[in-house]
A and B are shown apart, each in its own frame.
Chain A
Amino acid sequence: MDSTQKISHLALDIGGTLIKLVYFSANGDYSEESRNGCSVVHGKLCFAKFETRKIDDCLEFIRFNILHHSGVQHPNGAAHDKLYVKATGGGAFKFADLFKEKLGILFDKEDEMHSLVGGVNFLLKTVPREAFTYLDGQKEFVEIDHNDLYPYLLVNIGSGVSMIKVDGDGKYERISGTSLGGGTFLGLGKLLTKCKSFDELLELSHHGNNRVIDMLVGDIYGGTDYSKIGLSSTAIASSFGKAISDGKELEDYQPEDVARSLLRMISNNIGQIAYLNALRFGLKRIFFGGFFIRGLEYTMDTISVAVHFWSRGEAKAMFLRHEGFLGALGAFTSYNNQSHNDLKSHHHTVQRAILNCSGDNFRHIPVTSNLNDSETIECSINLV
């Protein structure tokens, strides 16, 4: 590889709980000349994620799979050009020194909100069958009209939740958020059920019954609805409300039921705050990002009902296939900005992305494994 081609073809989003990676994998060394004299490299956008608390795994992955192949020398070796890598999320600040020290990588920091929005806009405009609704047990892809994309509400459910009103390319405002997010679900879940991971907690919730611990309207009203205010007897009046008077200890409850009530509580709450903010700004479409949902139907159903029902059909909940990689993708597609003076005049534009879709099956991807080949995005990169 030409030693002058120090291509940063990787972007990172380092959050409170997870590190998300997007990197470009070229199809061999083949590159072609395009019409305007640039070379175009064909390949795939690949995705990987790691737990932030196991950051060494991420460092090792980068060292072995990316730096090694691109021929970048180890800092302790011969002199070399610095490798600038786009990084977003809080960890772009928190771990900047660590990456510099261990891998010789300098972070070119991108704002978190900016990256999230950039990532969604990129996906919605470039990748077909990215967004879908989930209603009445049916998943349905949404055809995005590029001329009618804005405005929309982006709800990114990470450790915490950010809600961003998007009015155009690069035009956005973080209007709200909530601290009851994925981190709350997993944090409380670990304390209450001794589960070891997010996926284990989701698996538990699958088999649970929320009516064991949640206090329903019917429990207060003796079996009847409170129809006057539109609440059925099975509506939840108070999450975890039965734990007050049951005379049971934590150990007496099934972890499945605890997980189910927890998932319902967090999902419903996010859905409600999301629709209240959508109503506030007259937004009809709400896209949900982050690694909270993971294709789980109960979660998508809870959120969809909260949004559609309580907004009386005004607002619509939509989910994204690459939900957890919004920030990383946004950072990745920002490489065409000249952010460093000493960066050689290379820039990349991601063109003609073709999604190689694995069909209509949505697979829940466990956090320890990475999206496989069929989840990558075929694309080309212009080198100028």
Chain B
Amino acid sequence: MVWYIIPKATGGGAFKFADLFKEKLGILFDKEDEMCSLVGGVNFLLKTVPREAFTYLDGQKKFVEIDHNDLYPYLLVNIGSGVSMIKVDGDGKYERISGTSLGGGTFLGLGKLLTKCKSFDELLELSHHGNNRVIDMLVGDIYGGTDYSKIGLSSTAIASSFGKAISDGKELEDYQPEDVARSLLRMISNNIGQIAYLNALRFGLKRIFFGGFFIRGLEYTMDTISVAVHFWSRGEAKAMFLRHEGFLGALGAFTSYNDQSLNDLKPHHHTVQRAILNCSGHNLRHIPVTSNLNESETIECSINLV
């Protein structure tokens, strides 16, 4: 008799690698829709885990107190390889309203081609020390040092990302990888922030939660996105980040076990109850992708077996 373990799986790989997992591990995937899982994951975190969401403004991280009766609607922007933007109106009530193909995969893909870096974290580290004004064409570069105040653009505003690479007479090798990484990060972050706020405005959404493993606690990224959202929406919309940002889909799939999705599953089901966040305090640590969240990042909880 063969026992198959039937775990929940979401994301495209739940389809693409279903056969591989069955063959190598005897695991059968119980597939959950990607968008449903992302939304389930955010709702679970916001309703169950204190100090999950936080804003980043003027260099200050601030946890957000979530009112469970005033959670909806909100916009979820999940920045993975690509970006999905989902309007969430309730538990299990959502609609993917937009997205962009300029996501984390673009940042890392272009980053690898331009800087020979080996990983996302290495690229982020490079960007830390970079100066975007070397490669980006600023308003002041076009206007001879002045602002274009009539349309609200200061001389240091970026008119054209990577625009200076046209006329500098330099080759790729002549640029510091740090500066390239910085301009790239700014470009992708600002663009996501802009498309996010344009979609929030479109549906009158005031809160935008950012998920996915793009941000990783980097202040420059959070600042760029926050400014793009807060400034361009004239304070109408607010950008918020999540401590467990990259695990939304997995958490959503995990908390969907109380659905009876397979007939031959023994009548076990699990509900996740009473989750207590064991928080490591107010420090948010950037977790490198090769290591895992340590004990202080786990979520204490209980599971009902029925």
Contact = CB atoms under 8 A, between A and B. Distances in A.
B82 A183 contact: no
Interface string B130-168: 000001110101111110101100000011111111110
A192 interface: yes
A279 interface: yes
Contacts of A38: none
A228 interface: yes
Given A179-B160, A215-B81, A243 B113 contact: yes
A15 B109 CA distance: 31
Given A94-B143, A220-B12, A222-B17, A240 B163 contact: no
B69 to A, nearest CB: 29
Nearest to B199: A276
A213 interface: yes
A239 B194 contact: no
A351 interface: no
A15 B142 contact: yes
B198 interface: yes
B172 A191 contact: yes
B106 A239 contact: yes
Q: Is the interface of B mostly helix, strand, loop or mixed?
A: helix
A181 B160 contact: yes
Name, among A174, A180, A280, the residue most crowded by chain B CB atoms within 10 Å (CB to CB).
A180
Interface residues of A, number: 69
A145 interface: no
B303 to A, nearest CB: 29
Contacts of A253: 113
Given A179-B160, A183-B162, A265 B101 contact: yes
Interface string B200-213: 01100000000000
A250 interface: yes
A61 interface: no
A187 B162 contact: yes
B38 to A, nearest CB: 11
A357 interface: no
Given A90-B141, A160-B160, A220-B81, 17 more contacts: A91-B142, A159-B160, A180-B187, A181-B163, A182-B160, A187-B163, A187-B165, A188-B162, A191-B175, A220-B16, A240-B113, A243-B112, A265-B101, A265-B106, A268-B101, A276-B198, A276-B202
Interface of A: 15-17, 51-53, 89-91, 93-95, 111-113, 158-160, 162, 174, 178-184, 186-188, 190-192, 194, 213-215, 217, 219-224, 226, 228-229, 236-244, 249-250, 253, 258, 265, 268-269, 272-273, 276-277, 279-280
